[in-house]
Amino acid sequence: MSAGMGAAMTWPGFINPIGAWLFLAAIPLVVLYFLKLRRPRMEVPSLVLWHSVVNDQRVNSPFQKFRRNLLLLLQLILLGLLVLALTQPFIASSAGSAEFTPVLIDCSASMAAIDPATGKTRLELVQDEVRNLIENLRSDQQLALFSFASTGRRLTEFTNDRRMLLQALESITATDVPAELDDVLRMTAAYTTSFPIREVLLLTDGNLPPSVEFELPFRLDVRRLQLTAANLGITEMSARRSGPQEWDIFIRVSASSEELLTADLQLYLNEEQLFTERISASAGEGERLVFPVVSAGRAILEARLVPGDEDALRTDNQCWLSLPEARSLQVLTYGRLPAWQRAVGVLEGVEQEALEDGVPEQTEYDLIISNRELPAGISGRQKLFVDVIPADLAGLVEKRDGVSLVTDWNRTSPLLQHVSLGEVQIGDMPAWGKGAGVGELEERGYEVLAEGSSGPLILQKREGLQTSWWFTFQTERSTLQHRVAFPILVANAVDTSLRQASLSEVAAAPTGVLPPLQLEPATVYTVRTEQGEEVQGRSGVTGLLTGIGAATVGRYEVSDGSDVVAVVGTGLLSLSETSLSAVEELSFAEVSVDAETTVVLDTDQPLWWGLAMGAFLVMLLEWWYFQRVRGVVQ
């Protein structure tokens, strides 16, 4: 049951009560009946016997009066039934009591799973229920259809136009992305200002995140299909560099069924099959496989699962992974930073350019460590500034004379993982400006990673894929350089840069949005799917092509108009979708909503067809009675 549900069935309502005026048609019907009932006049010598007959009939049959005018009675009943049918009476159910009802339809990847009992996909089963809801829609009731997967999509405005609603319903197809409720709920909540929405109907298979950070402004009626199916799918694929040109490919296969499911896992490198492995998995006991792959240049790996048993979902049987070209991490240490240079220099896979002053050899680096402003035209994906306060924080953070101690730091930050800054003494005293605090910095996009006794010590700012760190103090005038935490910190910065440059680890991209592609700046690219659909995108000034939607599993070719410049692939890669599991309860802010298990959607029960059928039977009865009487006479 949904929160607040449980309204008892009430008296029948009428969708078209105005039709009751047609009951007045009974008046002309009666008048016309008696006018039309010009019985043939027949002169008889005397009415004595007939009077006796009629009187005797009246005594013996109390309904003789009705029988005398049985035809009129039947016609009145027929009229009554037809008019009642016209008023479209219905027995209201709780689900249909709201006048404006948004209907949220889950079209995430798991909705494409085939129900073995019916042979239909879960989405088709939900569509059947919504179709029933639309067909039984009252004239004063309006629906708005929304579909959602990772994002919400409004299919119709509030309307009672059945044709439009059915058309929108038929247009819904399952996508290859996991389900997220936040977006569609926010979209629905926006309608509450314009429409009196009391209840929102959510139709899903229950494969949803159990917790949603959203405060419900309405009652959510969750209708969950109770279905089980056996499914096997790839839920994880990643690669880690194991040598200059060697990669370890990690693939995790998960299953939805308690029974052991088997399949053949095939791995292709640039469409050339490398491995085939027989795997078996069950719910909770997935299989993780490692394949060694040698690749010097850019390559694309495809993992393909060929199920040996029943498999409800096909979209999670394939995924792709793009391997980058093998190269060293380009690091620039700019300025006098001997400790940093030494720490970077001992790391493997790093090509360092140490420059105290002057113009760097390259214009683009993976990591730049500097204690001053960079020369114009030099860019880096990751930048680390030492003893620099960002220009846009002037007045908020300032340097004063004195010493500082680290009071707190963000231990989960990639830069500060395994780094202990306790008891680190600093010969500078970065301090907060007048009236400044963490809030002001956050407004400008900065995050305080380490805070000293007087002000921020380490700041971080993300701009797209670029990350910048600022040490607001001189590391040389601190005990940090003399502690074991320092090389760890430098290694963290390098590792982050390696990951950012996809030089050490790379993960397969899930569906939703294509991973950012580093291409030529300010160029229009065409992204083409395997199905032939094309989307155009323009790279930014840094050459980053982002925001290309990838709702379906498959390969995407990126071309600049003539040549294919990149090939990427996506996979479902969602453990929750592959497991086809269903949540029993959805947690919202301060509210929990049970996901009701139902197969048949509770809708208004229309009565008009029953009345129309009754009218038809009355008409048949009238015809039969009329024919019978005539037959008796004959």
The residue ranges that bind another protein (CB under 8 A) are 37, 39-54, 56-57, 67-70, 629-630, 632-633
**Are β-strands 549-550 and 544-545 bridged in parallel, bridged antiparallel, or unpaired?**
unpaired
Closest approach, Cβ 58 to another protein, in A, equals: 11
To 10 degrees, the CA torsion angle through 73, 78, 81, 86?
-140
Closest approach, Cβ 25 to another protein, in A, equals: 23
Query: How distant is the alpha carbon of residue 391 from its chain centre?
Result: 40
The angle at the Cα of 470, spanning 465 to 475, to the nearest 5 degrees, equals 135
Closest approach, Cβ 93 to another protein, in A, equals: 46
Q: 21 to each of 18, 83, 84, 90, how far by Cα in Å? A: 6, 9, 10, 18
The angle at the Cα of 360, spanning 356 to 361, to the nearest 5 degrees, equals 135
The set of residues, in sequence order, having a beta carbon less than 8 Å from that of 389 and lying 6+ positions away, is: 397, 398, 399, 430, 470, 472
The angle at the Cα of 317, spanning 313 to 321, to the nearest 5 degrees, equals 140
41 versus 434: smaller Cβ distance to another protein: 41
Closest approach, Cβ 56 to another protein, in A, equals: 6
d(CA 297, CA 451) in angstroms, rounded, equals 43
Q: Is 290 exposed, middle or buried (0-12, 13-18, 19+ CB in 10 A)?
A: exposed
21 versus 623: smaller Cβ distance to another protein: 623
Tokens of 17: 């009560």
**Alpha helix (H) residue ranges in 275-426:** 338-345
61 versus 536: smaller Cβ distance to another protein: 61
Closest approach, Cβ 39 to another protein, in A, equals: 4
Whether residue 598 contacts residue 223, with contact meaning beta carbons closer than 8 Å, is answered with yes
Nearest to 220 by CA among 184, 166, 175, 177: 184
Nearest to 81 by CA among 629, 631, 609: 609
42 versus 376: smaller Cβ distance to another protein: 42
20 versus 47: smaller Cβ distance to another protein: 47
46 versus 193: smaller Cβ distance to another protein: 46
- For residue 351, the SS3 value is strand
Residue showing tokens 């690749």: 295
52 versus 363: smaller Cβ distance to another protein: 52
d(CA 355, CA 350) in angstroms, rounded, equals 16
327 versus 628: smaller Cβ distance to another protein: 628
Residue showing tokens 């380009």: 330
d(CA 149, CA 169) in angstroms, rounded, equals 15
Closest approach, Cβ 81 to another protein, in A, equals: 23
Handedness of CA 73, 74, 79, 80 (dihedral sign): positive
Closest approach, Cβ 618 to another protein, in A, equals: 19
d(CA 90, CA 602) in angstroms, rounded, equals 13
67 versus 120: smaller Cβ distance to another protein: 67
71 versus 465: smaller Cβ distance to another protein: 71
Closest approach, Cβ 57 to another protein, in A, equals: 6
37 versus 438: smaller Cβ distance to another protein: 37
Q: 296 to each of 289, 356, 478, 517, how far by Cα in Å? A: 22, 33, 42, 19
51 versus 372: smaller Cβ distance to another protein: 51
56 versus 373: smaller Cβ distance to another protein: 56
d(CA 433, CA 440) in angstroms, rounded, equals 10
**Are β-strands 100-106 and 199-204 bridged in parallel, bridged antiparallel, or unpaired?**
parallel
438 versus 629: smaller Cβ distance to another protein: 629
Closest approach, Cβ 19 to another protein, in A, equals: 32
Closest approach, Cβ 615 to another protein, in A, equals: 23
- For residue 543, the SS3 value is coil
Nearest to 498 by CA among 394, 607, 351: 351
Tokens of 600: 């048949």
Nearest to 425 by CA among 474, 475, 478, 476: 478
Residue showing tokens 């096997």: 232
Closest approach, Cβ 634 to another protein, in A, equals: 8
Q: How many Cα atoms sit within 13 Å of 217 on the Cβ side? A: 13
Closest approach, Cβ 620 to another protein, in A, equals: 19
The set of residues, in sequence order, having a beta carbon less than 8 Å from that of 1 and lying 6+ positions away, is: 594, 596
Closest approach, Cβ 62 to another protein, in A, equals: 16
Q: Could you give phi then psi for residue 625, rounded to 5 degrees?
A: -65, -45
Closest approach, Cβ 29 to another protein, in A, equals: 17
531 versus 634: smaller Cβ distance to another protein: 634
Nearest to 608 by CA among 202, 14, 176: 14
Tokens of 537: 């995108």
- For residue 56, the SS3 value is helix
51 versus 462: smaller Cβ distance to another protein: 51
Closest approach, Cβ 61 to another protein, in A, equals: 11
